[in-house]
């Protein structure tokens, strides 16, 4: 949709389209809608990112806990959000060999035990091999560094979800 359409959306329409830009956290979209000072997709993206940046660390962890494990229980149960299904599919997480699935399950468990939230990475910017590499590497991070890294990944996910919803009038740099 064009930015002029986005600006004119009612609250209900905006929430229907943008309510899952941040996985299962419609409060972000509700806050962004209340601002409605958008001249471009960059303004919308900035509002989403600004909201995330303004949160205290405990709330940032809460945002991260809303994301599903990669190739985890929600995938196996068929309960991923449409956005997460697309992203995990594009990253190859839905086509893991049994050994890869066992490895990612073990690493997801280790990661959650260490940090208290699931491993979040922008699947559409990675494939299953780079995801496993990043998961191994990020397990060595200090908690505060990992929290910041995970929130940056959420912003990348938001960027791509917004790009798929709003047709920019000109290319928007990452």
- Residue ranges of the chain with per-residue pLDDT less than 70: 168-174
Kindly state the helix (H) or strand (E) to which residue 111 belongs, with its residue range.
Answer: helix 98-115
Indicate whether this model's pTM tops 0.85. yes
Domain positions in the chain:
69-143
Q: Please provide the size of the chain in residues.
A: 174
Backbone angles phi, psi at 37, to 5 degrees: -110, 60
Alpha-carbon span 77 to 164, nearest angstrom: 26
Q: Quick count: other Cβ atoms within 10 Å of Cβ 57?
A: 12
Q: Can you give the pLDDT at residue 168?
A: 53
For 66-80, write each residue's pLDDT tens digit: 999 999 999 999 999
| DSSP state at residue 89 | H
CB under 8 A, 24+ apart: contacts of 43-48: 44/3, 44/6, 44/162, 44/166, 45/158, 45/159, 45/162, 45/172, 48/21, 48/22, 48/155, 48/158, 48/162
Three-state DSSP at 55 gives coil
Angle at CA of residue 85, ends 151 and 60, nearest 5°: 20
Distance CA(126)–CA(164), nearest Å, equals: 17
Q: What angle do CA 62, 3, 48 make, to 5 degrees?
A: 15
Q: Which fold has domain 69-143?
A: UraD-like (1.10.3330)
List pLDDT tens digits, range 147-172: 999 999 999 999 999 999 997 544 44
In the DSSP assignment, the letter for residue 148 is: H
């Amino acid at each position: 949709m064009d930015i002029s359409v986005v600006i004119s959306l009612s609250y209900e329409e905006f929430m229907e389209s943008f309510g899952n830009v941040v996985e299962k956290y419609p409060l972000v979209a509700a806050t962004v809608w209340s601002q409605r000072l958008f001249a471009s997709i960059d303004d919308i993206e900035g509002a989403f990112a600004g909201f995330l940046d303004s949160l205290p660390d405990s709330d940032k962890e809460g945002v991260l806990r809303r994301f599903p494990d990669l190739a985890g229980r929600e995938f196996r149960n068929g309960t991923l959000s449409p956005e997460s299904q697309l992203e995990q599919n594009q990253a190859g997480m839905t086509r893991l060999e049994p050994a890869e699935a066992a490895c990612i399950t073990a690493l997801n468990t280790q990661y959650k035990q260490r940090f208290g939230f699931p491993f979040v990475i922008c699947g559409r910017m990675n494939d299953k091999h780079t995801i496993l590499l990043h998961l191994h590497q990020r397990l060595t991070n200090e908690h505060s560094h990992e929290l910041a890294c995970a929130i940056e990944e959420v912003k990348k996910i938001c960027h791509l979800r917004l790009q798929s919803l709003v047709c920019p009038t000109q290319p928007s740099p990452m």
